[in-house]
C-alpha cells in the first residue's frame, strides 16, 4: 500500500490550508445554526400598548370598556389637555388616545351606532390592534342587546366582561418544534457544501498533480507495482479522504443537535451529504486533470466552491434567489443537494410520499458524479494519446 500511504503524506503537507476551510466551516455553521431562539421557548406574549383614556360618560358600559382596556393596555394618566396629549403622542409616551363621548352607554343600549373619538399614529400596528379590541367589546355588547331584552347597562357590562375574560390556551405543536429544529440542521448542512467542496478539490487535486508528474509517472512505470494496483490504491485513498472529510464535517452536527441526528430526518441529512461528498470527489478528480499546476488548485477550489454555493442556495436561501440564478444553479449538484436539505427540513412526517422527491434529487446528484467521472476519463485518455 505504498501509493495509499504516499497519498496521505501529500495531503499532510497541505493540511494547514485544508484546516483553514474546516475551521471556517465549523465557526460559521455553528453561528448560523444557532441563530435565533430555541423554538421550545418561543411562547406568545401579548404586547400592551400605552394609551390615554378619557371618559366623558359615566355609564356602566363606559366603565366596563375602561376596565377591559386596562387589562389589555398600559393606561397612562394624562390630563384632558390637547397640547399635553399631542406632545405625549409625538414623543411616543402613548400610542393611542381614546375619548368616550357622553351618551355612549345610552346609545349602545338603544342599538344605535356609537363612535368613539380617537387619535393614533396613522396606519400603525397599535392603531389596528386597539381598534380590534374596542370593536370586540362593542360587538359583544351588540350581540346581547340583539338577543336579550330587558337588560340593564350594569347587567350587560357584567355579561360582556365575563365573556371577554375567556382565554384560549395555546400549545406549540411538537411537530412544529421538530420542523423548526430540522431547519437549523438544514442550514448547517447547506453551508457544509461550500467547505466540503473546497477541501476535496484541494486534497484530491494536489495529490493527483503529484502523481501525474511526468518524471514520477515514468519512475512508477519502472517499478514492480502494476498500474492496476497503483490506480486501485489511488481510488481507495481518495475515497478514504472524502469519507474522512465528510465525517469531520458532520461531527459538529452531532454535538449541536444530539439525538436528532439519529432520527429518520437526521439520517436523510447524513445520506444526502454523503452522496454529495462522493459527487464532489468526482468533480475534484475532473478538476485535478484540468488544472495545469499547484498554483491553479487554490484558485479552482475557491471559484468552484464559492461560485456553486452562491447560485445554488448554500450561502443565500433559494427562495431569495431569482429565477435566472436558480436556473443556472440547477446545472450544479449543489442546487439539488440544497433542495433535498430544504425538503427534509420542511417535512412534518417522514413518509414514502415525502421522501420520494428527495431520493429523486439524490439520483440527480449521483448523475453529476457519473457525468464528471466520464468526462474525466475521456480527458485523461486524450492527454495520454496526445
Domains: count for the chain: 2
Q: What is the pLDDT of residue 218?
A: 64
pLDDT in the model for residue 224: 67
Q: 120, 88 in Cβ contact below 8 A?
A: no
Task: Compute the distance between CA of residue 244 and CA of residue 53 in angstroms, rounded to an integer.
Answer: 68
Q: Which residues of the chain have pLDDT under 50?
A: 36-42
Q: Give me the residues paired with residue 36 across strands.
A: none
Question: 350 and 234 share a domain?
Answer: yes
Nearest to 380 by CA among 231, 196, 243, 279: 231
Task: Decide which of 129, 164, 199 is a domain's last residue.
Answer: 164
Do residue 84 and residue 205 come from a single domain? no
54/380 Cα distance (integer angstroms): 86
Instruction: Tell me the residue range of the domain where 78 lies.
Output: 49-164
Q: What distance in Å separates the CA atoms of residue 225 and residue 211, rounded to the nearest whole number?
A: 14
What is the pLDDT, as a whole number, of residue 267?
93
State whether 327 and 184 are in the same domain: yes
Residues 222 and 287 in one domain: yes
User: Does the residue 111 lie in any domain?
Assistant: yes
- What pTM was computed for the model? 0.65
Backbone angles phi, psi at 73, to 5 degrees: -140, 170
Report d(CA 60, CA 346) in Å as an integer: 52
Amino acid at each position: 500500500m505504498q501509493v495509499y500511504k504516499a497519498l496521505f503524506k501529500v495531503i499532510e503537507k497541505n493540511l494547514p490550508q485544508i484546516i483553514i476551510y474546516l475551521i471556517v466551516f465549523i465557526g460559521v455553521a455553528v453561528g448560523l445554526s444557532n441563530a435565533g431562539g430555541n423554538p421550545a421557548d418561543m411562547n406568545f406574549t401579548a404586547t400592551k400598548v400605552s394609551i390615554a383614556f378619557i371618559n366623558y360618560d359615566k355609564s356602566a358600559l363606559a366603565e366596563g370598556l375602561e376596565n377591559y382596556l386596562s387589562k389589555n393596555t398600559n393606561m397612562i394618566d394624562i390630563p384632558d389637555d390637547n397640547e399635553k396629549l399631542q406632545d405625549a403622542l409625538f414623543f411616543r409616551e402613548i400610542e393611542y388616545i381614546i375619548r368616550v363621548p357622553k351618551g355612549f352607554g345610552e346609545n349602545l343600549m338603544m342599538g344605535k351606532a356609537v363612535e368613539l373619538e380617537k387619535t393614533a399614529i396613522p396606519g400603525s400596528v397599535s392603531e389596528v390592534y386597539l381598534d380590534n379590541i374596542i370593536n370586540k367589546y362593542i360587538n359583544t355588547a351588540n350581540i346581547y342587546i340583539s338577543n336579550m331584552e330587558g337588560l340593564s347597562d350594569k347587567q350587560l357590562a357584567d355579561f360582556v366582561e365575563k365573556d371577554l375574560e375567556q382565554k384560549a390556551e395555546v400549545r406549540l405543536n411538537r411537530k412544529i418544534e421538530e420542523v423548526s429544529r430540522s431547519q437549523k440542521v438544514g442550514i448547517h448542512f447547506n453551508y457544509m457544501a461550500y467547505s466540503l467542496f473546497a477541501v476535496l478539490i484541494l486534497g484530491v487535486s494536489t495529490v493527483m498533480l503529484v502523481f501525474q508528474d511526468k518524471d514520477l509517472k515514468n519512475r512508477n512505470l519502472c517499478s514492480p507495482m502494476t498500474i492496476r494496483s497503483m490506480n486501485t490504491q489511488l481510488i481507495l485513498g481518495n475515497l478514504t479522504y472524502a469519507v474522512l472529510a465528510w465525517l469531520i464535517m458532520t461531527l459538529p452536527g452531532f454535538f449541536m443537535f444530539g439525538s436528532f441526528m439519529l432520527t429518520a430526518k437526521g439520517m436523510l441529512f447524513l445520506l444526502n451529504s454523503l452522496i454529495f461528498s462522493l459527487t464532489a470527489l468526482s468533480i475534484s478528480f475532473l478538476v485535478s486533470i484540468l488544472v495545469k499546476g499547484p498554483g491553479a488548485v487554490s484558485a479552482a477550489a475557491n471559484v468552484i466552491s464559492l461560485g456553486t454555493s452562491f447560485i445554488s442556495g448554500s450561502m443565500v436561501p433559494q427562495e431569495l434567489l431569482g429565477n435566472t440564478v436558480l436556473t443556472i444553479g440547477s446545472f450544479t449538484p449543489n442546487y439539488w443537494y440544497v433542495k433535498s436539505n430544504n425538503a427534509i427540513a420542511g417535512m412534518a412526517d417522514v413518509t414514502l410520499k415525502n421522501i420520494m422527491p428527495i431520493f429523486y434529487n439524490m439520483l440527480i446528484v449521483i448523475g453529476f458524479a457519473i457525468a464528471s467521472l466520464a468526462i474525466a476519463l475521456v480527458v485523461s485518455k486524450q492527454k495520454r494519446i496526445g
